A and B are shown apart, each in its own frame.
Chain A
Amino acid sequence: MIEWLENLGARGLSILNEIGRAGVFLFWSVVGIFRPPFKIMPIIKQIHVIGATSFTVIFFTGAFVGMVLGLQGNYTLRMFGAEGALGSAVALSLVRELGPVLTGLMVTGRVGSSICAEVGIMRISEQIDALECMAIDPYRYLISPKVVASIISLPLLTAIFNIVGLMGGFLVGVRLLGGSEGAYLSTMKSSVLAADIRMCFIKSVCFAILIVWICADRGYWVHKSRNGFGAEGVSRATTHAVVISSVAILVADYVITSLLL
């Protein structure tokens, strides 16, 4: 019984320890953004990695989510004789929820895992130690450009997701199932308010920080985690990173929605 309690306590302490370490990690990563020398090239490179290369997957996810919304919405709304509200339904669900959340999840899967693996491999092959020995701040050099790049990329990707989704909804709801074009466009325009766009933007910025924070942190401290050695340690850290940041995105989504609604 005492042993069980001891284990529980040790587990609790190690979780607290990890959370504290992650907090310090975020702090230094953000501080690193404002530390000279300022370089634009690493940020552009990361925007390419995080943003540009995610375009295809965001495009297709957005298109099919919009199309499914058009299909389901048309079917459901017709039961109430409210097909005209399809534009409004698709637009609001995309802008408020699905756009930022699904973009966040897709980017986590695509980029978060690679950030975690990259940083983790640099850690286990002593490359981060080498940076420290050269008195190069690893946060500023490695993590901060990723934070900036993802804060720039995610809102843009979310915007693309929304637009493509709206077009997908239009394609299915109006062109395929013969809904009213005017009704779709006008209800879409009138129902989406500036506050909705703002919420969408805030969410995507928060998710951007969450993704890089959690994934880079898992990789950076891979050697401190249990059995965090070698390739297996990195692969475990990557899995953890993706799971934790996906859940964190959904939790944060609830929190932000409840605060802003």
Chain B
Amino acid sequence: MTCENCCIELIGIEKSFGDQKVLRGVNLPIRRGFTTVIVGESGQGKSVLLKHILGLIAPDAGQVIVEGQDVTRLRGAELKKLRTRFGVLFQGAALFDSLTVFDNIALPLRERTRMLAAEVREKVSLTLELLDLSGSEDKYPAQLSGGMKKRVGLARALQLNPEILLFDEPTTGLDPVRSHEVYQMFNETQKKLGYTSIIVSHDIPKIFNLADYIALLHEGVIQICATPEELQRCEKPLVRAFVERVMGKMYSSEIEDLELAAEL
């Protein structure tokens, strides 16, 4: 491994779907204990990148190194073992829609551990409390709002105490209040549990507050992976253009937030 502090390293990932080449040699180190945010326009392959890390998609070329193991070479039991280190919050939360909130959150405990029913109940109620979901345990996912779904998804992802959490668009489709809520819960849980997180998002610039590192995916390549400060100082024309566009947005979104705060 080239990177000392990394728990995940992507090396030269290439992937095509039919004639469309989505990833053209992605190199990305993910540092342990920090939050890395992958930004980029829609359709640039950000979610595809996450699926590579999980071994859900095999790359056409390149390696995905997670804790010293190449995910692309792992099969069956080894892959399963590696996945127990991950918690994933999917774009649409991917809750099991025929199970109640409680059963959704309890599922990983019931299936992956030998906990007794009483212990499961206790642990799930603790998580429900932590994420402010008490009282919704008997509801079905279809009866929840978008923000609540995300929280249930996070609750489920946290059950097996993952070392690495992957978030696919945690705030898409949420209004500013709700997305603020998601960020807050995110900050709190990370402080408490200290996991490494990778967030795919286009909720920029708000997501910048959360990020230790920002990786810009454009035209199938990571253009830059740097701290938010470094990103702002970068001279690369493409990165400059991106930062300028985002900064413009930052100004307007602050006004939006102020207006919202006034309304509330």
Contacting residues, chain B, for A136 (C-beta < 8 A)? 107-108, 111-112
Within 8 A of A (CB), among B43-86: 51, 54, 56, 80-81, 83-84, 86
Q: Is the CB of B112 within 8 A of A130?
A: no
Given contacts A126-B91, A129-B90, contact A135 B83 (CB under 8 A): yes
The distance from the CB of B253 to the nearest CB of chain A, in whole angstroms, is 29
Within 8 A of B (CB), among A123-147: 125-127, 129-130, 132-137, 141
In terms of DSSP, what is the predominant structure of the interface of chain A?
helix
Q: How far is the CA of A52 from the CA of B91 in the complex (A)?
A: 37
Q: How far is the CA of A231 from the CA of B54 in the complex (A)?
A: 26
Q: Is the CB of A133 within 8 A of B86?
A: yes
Band of interface residues on A: 10 to 19
Contacting residues, chain A, for B51 (C-beta < 8 A)? 129
Q: Is the CB of A129 within 8 A of B56?
A: yes
Is B160 interfacial (CB-CB < 8 Å)? Answer: yes
Is B257 interfacial (CB-CB < 8 Å)? Answer: no
Q: How far is the CA of A137 from the CA of B112 in the complex (A)?
A: 10
Given contacts A130-B88, A132-B56, contact A137 B94 (CB under 8 A): no
Q: How far is the CA of A134 from the CA of B95 in the complex (A)?
A: 12
Given contacts A133-B83, A135-B80, contact A126 B90 (CB under 8 A): yes
Q: How far is the CA of A132 from the CA of B51 in the complex (A)?
A: 11
What total of chain B residues lie within 8 Å of the partner, measured CB to CB?
A: 24
Q: Is the CB of B94 within 8 A of A130?
A: yes
Q: How far is the CA of A122 from the CA of B107 in the complex (A)?
A: 15
Is A81 interfacial (CB-CB < 8 Å)? Answer: no
Q: How far is the CA of A126 from the CA of B94 in the complex (A)?
A: 5
As a 0/1 sequence over residues 96 to 121 of chain B, the CB contacts with chain A under 8 angstroms (1 = contact) are 11100000000110011010000000
The distance from the CB of A44 to the nearest CB of chain B, in whole angstroms, is 16
The distance from the CB of A139 to the nearest CB of chain B, in whole angstroms, is 12
Given contacts A126-B91, A129-B94, A130-B88, contact A135 B81 (CB under 8 A): yes
Of the candidates A132, A133, A141, the one whose C-beta lies within 8 Å of that of B111 is A141
Contacting residues, chain B, for A125 (C-beta < 8 A)? 92, 94, 97
Q: How far is the CA of A229 from the CA of B29 in the complex (A)?
A: 33
Interface centre among B80, B94, B114 (most CB of A within 10 A): B94
Given contacts A126-B92, A126-B94, contact A133 B112 (CB under 8 A): no
Pairs across A and B, CB under 8 Å, 11 listed:
A125-B92, A126-B91, A127-B95, A127-B97, A129-B51, A129-B56, A130-B90, A135-B83, A136-B107, A136-B112, A137-B80
Give B contacts to A, CB under 8 Å.
Answer: 51, 54, 56, 80-81, 83-84, 86, 88, 90-92, 94-98, 107-108, 111-112, 114, 156, 160
Other A-B pairs, 6, CB within 8 Å; known A126-B92, A130-B94, A135-B80: A127-B96, A130-B88, A132-B56, A133-B86, A134-B108, A135-B83
